[in-house]
Structure 1
């Protein structure tokens, strides 16, 4: 028995062809396997993402094609969410790369991220709400596209239909983000989740500039908040047993609503103008810059 074991060991360590082949295969494959394991362990499995929302007709899906291809393409009414992988353009620098040396090879890499486009029709907005209700560890921000040319009204004292629709949708998005903060189980709260209000179609003569878009949405959300609060209070008076969740957007639902109030729940809001389609082409540099600040 000992002799047979000794013979096997002698053959295994001897200069035979099978031993040489096996040794060469192990020597070549082992470093590759170790590198692959370490790379997968340290490389994030998911890219950072941005949620793209907004009413129908705001130019949201056209913006998605510009992000993806650099130029707008014909679109149709979105029925289901879609996700595309996008790369930051060379003209925009990610915030995480601002302090890296020019000689650092990683500084020349253009970050990749995902954009999740959701339907804007009123009956399909549950897709966007579901994205916000479930945990999204890689979500870096929300881009809310609004048609700035549909926000002004020809009738004094009456809100434009486009303004009312956009403000109602934005109100519901912000209320979900506020509940995300107030319902957090830890005292620290969830991480910051910025919101970009992309005021689209600024190339049109009837479009409101970004600052007026901001004030118009704040005023309309104030009106919507007051109307909904009154409706809930009236329901509670009629039925004293009604247990309604009363969470008003902003500072307790009193006074004027301002976007700055959302910073208290880790939701900074920025309004930036631009246009997806125009006589001189797309102008979305301000939106690219905002995305770069979040990466």
Structure 2
């Protein structure tokens, strides 16, 4: 039986029978549904890159979160639980992954969307931040926000306490990142931004002095922690690797510098800015850092 015969399959397929019509309608409906539920849903459910915002209480973390999300900071209160929002780079800022893409490439816009995770700064609630570091979900970087007006060293005054608190918290985060990098499983590099907030205030330290103050105070924290470990006998085994995991930086001795963290894949950047400036927010350097990390 040839294809041109009245009973042939091609003739039957082109014949306006009820079976042919039903099959055609089913195919016409099934193909778009397949493309939508299988291809579109699978691509849209891809987890977005995220950035973790940490720092002591009162540094302005939640205000920064709302600023990045809405374009303007909102009135906030002390956070008790983590908060995750979706944000996008400003149209004037280009992500590093899009730098060499054509402006007409629609896929270039996909990488501008990211998640911001705000964590409480109170000492008893910092485990939320630590959990996000030990079990990151597409974590691209960490923003450590500090109140630059609360870091000036004095003669035992309240600013000493602010500097000590910030240094201890930052020490713990850096030590956690060091342990994570020196584990058995290879992990990607982790950039960390120290965002010196409230630069609009007269008493705020500029970014270079924030860097020097934190390095000097972390040196003191590391010395006291190392002494405590030696007194308790922790880290005194035969393995040098075990000691390095317990002591931040180069063996816990000498002056600590953020540059030491590059050996474990942690690049530290310090940049000043202001979330609630008198003349408006000044966070351009922070946006640039996020763009470089995307």
State the TM-score, normalized to the length of structure 1.
0.86
Name the SS of the counterpart of 1:268 in structure 2.
strand
Structural mapping, 1:1-295, within 5 Å = 14-17=15-18, 19-34=20-35, 36-41=37-42, 45-107=46-108, 111-134=112-135, 136-155=136-155, 160-185=160-185, 189-236=186-233, 246=243, 247-295=246-294
Shift of 1:28: 4.2
Deviation sequence 1:120-157 (CA, Å, 0-9, x none): 001100111111122x2510000000000000033289
Instruction: List gaps (5 residues or longer) in structure 1.
Output: 1-6
Give the deviation of 1:20 after TM superposition: 1.1
TM-score, normalised by the number of residues in structure 2:
0.87
Q: Distance in 2 between matches of 1:158 and 1:29?
A: 68
Rounded to whole Å, the distance in 2 between the matches of 1:273 and 1:83 is 24
Q: How far apart in 2 are the matches of 1:157 and 1:121?
A: 20
Q: CA 1:208/1:66 → structure 2, altered by over 3 Å: closer, same or farther?
A: same
**Given that residues 82 and 118 in structure 1 are in contact (C-alpha distance below 8 angstroms), is that contact kept between their aligned partners in structure 2?**
yes
Q: Deviations over 1:103-128 (max 9, x none)?
A: 43444667100011111001100111
Q: Contact between 2:143 and 2:192, CA under 8 Å: does it hold in 1? A: yes
Q: 1:15 to 1:255 in 2, by over 3 A?
A: same
Conserved in 2, the CA contact under 8 Å of 1:88 and 1:110?
A: no
CA deviations on 1:53-90 (whole Å, 9 max, x unpaired) are 00000011110010111111111111111110001111
CA distance 1:159–1:256, change in 2 (3 Å): farther
Q: For 1:168-206, what per-residue CA distance to the aligned partner results, in whole angstroms no more than 9, with x for missing partners?
A: 000000000000011133xxx311110000000000000
Query: What SS is found at the alignment partner of 1:74?
Result: coil
Q: Give distance in 2, aligned partners of 1:139 and 1:178.
A: 16
Alpha-carbon distance in structure 1 between the residues aligned to 2:232 and 2:107: 59
> What is the root-mean-square deviation in Å for CA atoms of aligned residues?
2.7
Q: Which runs of 5+ in 2 are unaligned?
A: 1-6
Report the Cα distance in structure 1 between the residues aligned to 2:120 and 2:126, rounded to whole angstroms.
6
SS in 1 for 2:53: strand
